[in-house]
Amino acid sequence: MCLRFLNWPVQQAQRELPADRRSHVAVHTVQSSQTPDSSARRHKAPVSADQRLVRELFSSVKGGPTVVAVSKDAWCAGVRPGMPLAEARSMSTRPIQGTRRQPQSPDPEIQFLEWQPNDDRRVLQEAAEHTRRFAPVVGLDMMPVPDSLHLDITGCGSLFGGESSLAEQVINCLAGRNFNCQVAISDSVATAWAFAHTEGHVLQHKVVRQRGRGHRVRGRHAELSEWNLPIVIIPPGQAESWLQPLVIDVARIPIADTLVLRQLGVVTIRQLLELPEDDLPSRLSKAAIRRLRQLRGIEDEIIEAIPEADPVQASWVSEFPVSDRRGICQVIEHLTEDIVAQLKRRHLGTVRLTCQLNQEGGNRIELTADVIRPLQSASELFAVLSLRLESLPIHQAVMAISMQSAVVPLPTAHQKDLFNANLHIDPAEELTAVVNRLSNRLGKEAVLTIHPVDNPVPEYAVELRPLMTSQPDCSTHTDRQLADLVTPDGMQSFDIGTAERPLRLLSTAECIGDADTNPLTDGFVRNGQNCRVVDFTGPERIETQWWHESAVHRDYYRVRTSEQATYWIYRDTVQGAWFLHGIFD
Amino acid sequence: MSATSAALQTLRRQLVQSQSHSPCRTVVSTGLPSLDALLPHAGLPSGSLIEWISDGPGHRASSIAFRCAIGFLHRPGAFVVVDGCGCFNPAAVCNTEIPLSRLLVVRPQGDRTGGYCCSADSGSRDSQLQHRHRTEMLWALEQLGRCSGVQIAVAWVDQLSSTAQRRLQLAVETSGVTVFLIRPAAALHQTSWADLRFHVQLAHATKSVFSVGDRSRFAVRLIRSKNAVQHNGCAWLGCHHETGNVLEVSELARATGTEGAAC
């Protein structure tokens, strides 16, 4: 769910004004020479991103203060976003100077207030606290100049009488606190954002077209009022078709890319989605391609949760320090049970437990246990934590332990059969448990999935990626990978080439001869043993283009030695040296 | 019989079944009839520990093991490769019917020790470190052996104590996971808890046999079969020269190129 705060900079400014002076408001940027306040200095990075966006949007007025947003009445008075402040003031009958906090005029016609993006951001985060009871994960829109909150309401609709009822309750809850919002519910973060930032009449055009010619068309005024409702719910699986008529601005692609696309005549999402995917990298930036993939649902987008004001945590302090590992384990087990009890009360799961051990000497040991899918089981979480604890050197007694949990919504649970425990075993769930244990004990880099890469160099023909990413989440991508791993129907074949490759590939090729030798005729030495080549096939030439940074020029031979072993050796055609690269085991 | 008593009988039967812990074993064909003919149940039993002993690196024991693992992939569960040595090349299985999407690689250490290693410098490593890495690898293998989300696990293991092997065998018996251990020739002289034990020997091929378009060949002997009558003889297999696929060798071809095979 995307919760958009309508005309946010103006709405936020209006909230701090008396009711009788809220109608005519314009928010403007401050001159670059003016010193920003302390909060701006604290959040330098986001402010600069906000300012950059405004400069990009209103490129004609880079020099001075510019109007960023205006209220409806100010718009009617002729003030427009992007207008220089001086010009906007001249349009007002009684222009007044001041900041948002200290307006100087007792009765201004148009209130010109300084834009304070940090305050806007902070108030949005405060508003997020009011929505926590509707969704376990609430995040701030990560775009510059955010005006929205993202709520992960997966599985939450039924608790509030359906998604529409949930949306209505969210709007009413915020309206009671003087927030004016509109809501869009869709399959993904990207599509929800797009629909939340689209006016209702644009969506209405699609439906009118679908109804066909014979349908009675009502007056435009009635249709607009009907479609400009604060709640838009897109049926599951239909987001892409509803996106088609929307303009490309709602795809969240950078402004520079939007301009390029407009020059190419690409105005709507339909046109954007029809572009050949292979051509996009040459025309658009990486950020734009990523946004497009998110819009198509190819790439997942994680909602970066706003930290809770009341986090799930537990702690233990004692004046009698614990020195043996068993005692520490016992304390951690109790704390885990406490955390899980809190999670159960809130109907949440966890993907990360962070445990801090404070030692006598003032040392602190931090222990983090990640799980690949949300858990609410004390025994499994403790098992994972104890695996991490086993590998930690604890030389001093521990005086205090605190534990904190990162919360996420729980996946749907499946009931098991009473008599046959194997009947409803989900292999993906079972695999998840073992991946959790292996990744925590051996490290995330130890459990890897395979992804083919279009690269002729043997050592780069496939890419091994950790199944547990450094940012654990309940994303569908991990679920899909787990499902692919265990499902026979999900078998995908990859065509890397028909030529045989050795099953064992040495991480570093062993040099077996210089340019003056020829192992094919003279043999070579490996592990102190002479290997005489009795037969060979080749060469198979593998080389990369000359412009690659580490260009490869190799002639590979498959050789059989007098010991009947089959090896893969190559001659570097540039240096002339010979290397052993693989074993056909 | 009334409906109530029938239902009670069904419930009673289910209760008895639920109390027996061992999952029912199924037999999976290797896809190689001559190898199936050697096996007591004409296939590899699931939930078993199977050893493939090779005379040395480069003798295709791993290729045969991977070939025989394909049959297990028609059932749900992951195909896990425990790569203690870090030398497993996933691109090599692309020519087989093993899909990369079903493959999970576990590398207990990024370092190149612990497994039945093919690297030249493995012998010079610190023995304590090697021992630790070997322990980690066996721990990982046992964890995988206990997980019913895994269908088959393959690992290269050089040294394996009898206790560790017994633990592993009990684990797979309970969970139904099949574990292939690829081991060096030194393992022939060690005791084993494996359900099946194969010895892969490369036949001494002539020049003409190894030439382009032909196949290299090997003899696979079943040297141990737990709780079953052992079949004599060996299966003759070949490896396609271009694709590396493991195939059966015809009787005629076998007669021409078997000078050194100890069968």
Q: Is A577 on the interface with B (CB under 8 A)?
A: no
pLDDT at position A46 is 47
From B17, B102, B239, residue closest to A419, measured CB to CB: B17
Instruction: Nearest by CB to B17, from A420, A485, A564: name it.
Output: A420
Put simply, whether B150 touches A (Cβ < 8 Å) is yes
What is the residue-averaged pLDDT of chain A? Answer: 78
**Cis omega before residue A103 (within 30°)?**
no
Smallest CA–CA separation between B201 and chain A, in Å? 10
Q: Do A560 and B210 touch (CB under 8 A)?
A: yes
Q: Which chain B residue is nearest to residue A421, measuring alpha carbons? A: B18
Query: Is pLDDT at A445 greater than 70 in this prediction?
Result: yes
Q: Per the CB < 8 Å rule, is A458 touching B15? A: no
Beta strands A231-233 and A181-185 are parallel
pLDDT in tens, A360-402: 878 888 888 888 888 888 988 998 888 888 878 888 889 999 9
Do the domain assignments include residue B260? Answer: no
| Residue B239 within any structural domain of the chain | no
Higher pLDDT, A227 or A160: A160
Q: Are residues B78 and A505, on separate chains, in Cβ contact within 8 Å?
A: no
- CB–CB of A269/A252 below 8 Å? no
CB spacing of A507 vs B63 below 8 angstroms: no
| Type of residue numbered A230 | P
Confidence tier at B212 by pLDDT (50, 70, 90): very low
Q: Which residues of A touch B102 (CB under 8 A)?
A: 484-486, 490-491
Which chain B residues are closer than 8 Å to A484 by Cβ? 101-102
Q: Hey, is the C-beta of A462 within 8 angstroms of any chain B C-beta?
A: yes
Please report the residues numbered 396 through 435 in chain A whose beta carbons come closer than 8 angstroms to any beta carbon of chain B: 418-422, 425-434
Predicted confidence (pLDDT) per residue in A286-297, tens digit: 888 888 888 888
Residue B234 lies in a domain: no
- Measured between CA atoms, how close is B97 to chain A, in angstroms? 8
Q: Is the pLDDT of residue A107 over 60?
A: no
> In terms of Cα–Cα distance, which of B84, B41, B68, B72 is closest to B183?
B84
Query: Which of B75, B89, B102 faces A503 most closely, judged by CB atoms?
Result: B89
Residue B188 lies inside a defined structural domain of this protein: yes
A498-537 residues touching B, CB cutoff 8 A: 498-507, 510, 526-527, 534-535, 537
Candidates A431, A526, A585; nearest CB to B149: A431
Q: Does the pLDDT of residue A142 top 90, yes or no?
A: no
Q: Does B20 touch chain A (CB under 8 A)?
A: no
Distance from CA of B257 to the nearest CA of A (A): 14
Judged by average pLDDT, the poorest of A46-55, A108-117, A320-329, A556-565 is: A46-55
CA nearest to B65, candidates B116, B137, B110: B116
Residue B225 lies in a domain: no
Q: Which helix (H) or strand (E) is A182 found in, with range?
A: strand A181-185
| Res B125: pLDDT | 52
Choose the closest CB to B100 out of A438, A442, A452.
Answer: A452
Residue with tokens 């939450």: A156
A187: closest CA of chain B, how far (Å): 25
Q: Is the predicted pLDDT of residue A470 greater than 80, yes or no?
A: no
Nearest to B91 among A496, A534, A585 (CB): A496
- Residue B155: predicted pLDDT: 93
DSSP string, A52-98: HHHHHHTGGG-SS-BEEEE-HHHHHTT--TT-BHHHHHHHSSS-B-B
Residue B104 — very low, low, confident or very high, per pLDDT cuts 50/70/90? very high
The more confidently predicted of residues A109 and B164 is B164
Q: Let me know: does B188 contact B162? Beta carbons within 8 Å.
A: no
Residues 541-560, chain A, touching B (beta carbon < 8 A): 560
* pLDDT tops 80 at residue A469: no
pTM: 0.66
pLDDT at B114: 44
Tell me the C-alpha distance between B55 and B197, whole Å. Answer: 14
**B124 within domain boundaries:** yes
Whether pLDDT at B80 is above 90? yes
Mutate which: A439, A503, A531, vs B, most B CBs within 10 A: A503
Angle, helix A163-175 to helix A117-131, in steps of 10 degrees? 130
In a domain, B211, yes or no: no
How many CA atoms does the CB half-sphere of A79 hold within 13 Å? 30
Q: State how far the Cα of A481 lies from the Cα of B261, in Å rounded to an integer.
A: 44
Give the angle subtended at the CA of A332 by the CAs of A328 and A335, to the nearest 5°: 140
Least confident of A9-13, A124-128, A218-222: A218-222
Tell me which residue of A362, A357, A447, A458 sits closest to A404, measured CA to CA. Answer: A357
Q: Is the ipTM of this complex over 0.90?
A: no
Structurally, chain B folds into a number of domains equal to 1
* HSE, side-chain direction, 13 A CA sphere, residue A316: 24
User: How many angstroms separate the CA of residue A469 from the nearest CA in chain B?
Assistant: 15
Tell me, what's the pLDDT at B23? Answer: 55
pLDDT digit string, tens, across residues A22-55: 777 888 877 654 444 444 444 444 456 666 777 6
* Chain B positions in Cβ-Cβ contact with residue A422 (cut-off 8 Å): 23, 148
For A458, the closest chain B residue by CA position comes to B91
Query: Which domain, by its residues, includes B144?
Result: 24-204
B116 interfaces chain A, CB cutoff of 8 Å:
no
* Cα A317 to Cα A338: distance, rounded to the nearest angstrom: 15
pLDDT of residue B51: 93
Residues of chain A positioned with their CB less than 8 A from the CB of B115: none
Q: Give residue B141's pLDDT band: very low, low, confident or very high (50, 70, 90).
A: very high
Residue A182's alpha-carbon distances to A6, A195, A233, A391, B242, in angstroms, are 7, 10, 11, 50, 63
Q: How confident is the model at residue A336 (pLDDT cuts 50, 70, 90)?
A: very high
Length in residues, chain A: 585
For residue A96, pLDDT over 80 is answered with: no
Q: So what's the pLDDT on residue A460?
A: 85
Integer Cα distance of B11 and B8 in angstroms: 5
What is the number of other CB atoms lying within 10 angstroms of the CB of residue A557?
A: 18
Contact A450/B at CB under 8 A: yes
Find chain B residues with C-beta within 8 A of A426's C-beta: 149
Tell me the chain B residues in contact with residue A458 when contact means C-beta distances shorter than 8 Å. Answer: 89, 91
Residues A252/A301, Cβ–Cβ less than 8 Å: no
Measured between beta carbons, the chain A residues lying within 8 angstroms of B257 are: none
pLDDT at residue B182 is higher than 90: yes
- The whole-number pLDDT of residue A497 equals 54
Q: Is residue B215 part of a domain?
A: no
Which pLDDT score, from 0 to 100, does residue A221 have? Answer: 44
The tens digit of pLDDT for each residue in B188-201 reads 888 888 888 999 88
**How sure is the predictor about B109, in pLDDT bands with cuts at 50, 70 and 90?**
confident
Contact residues on chain A for B101, CB-CB shorter than 8 A? 484-485, 490-492
Of the spans A11-20, A124-133, A434-443, B215-224, which averages the highest pLDDT? A434-443
- Residue B147 at interface with chain A, using a CB cutoff of 8 Å: yes
Res. B180 pLDDT band, cuts 50 70 90: very high
Measure CB to CB from residue B92 to each of A495, A502, A563 and give the nearest one: A502
Instruction: Find the residue in A nearest to B109 (Cα).
Output: A446
B211–A462 C-beta distance less than 8 A: no
B89·A494 Cβ contact <8 A: no
Does the pLDDT at position A416 exceed 80? Answer: no
Q: Nearest-CA neighbor of A470 among A532, A406, A527? A: A406
Pairing of strands B78-82, B150-156: parallel
For B50-72, write each residue's pLDDT tens digit: 999 988 888 888 889 998 999 89
pLDDT in tens, A343-361: 888 777 888 888 999 988 7
Find the CATH number of the domain harbouring B197: 3.40.50.300
- Cβ of A449 within 8 Å of Cβ of B104? The answer is yes
Structural contact between residues A191 and A239, judged by C-beta atoms closer than 8 angstroms: yes
Quote the pLDDT of residue B207: 44
Residues of A in contact with B150 (CB under 8 A): 430-431, 434
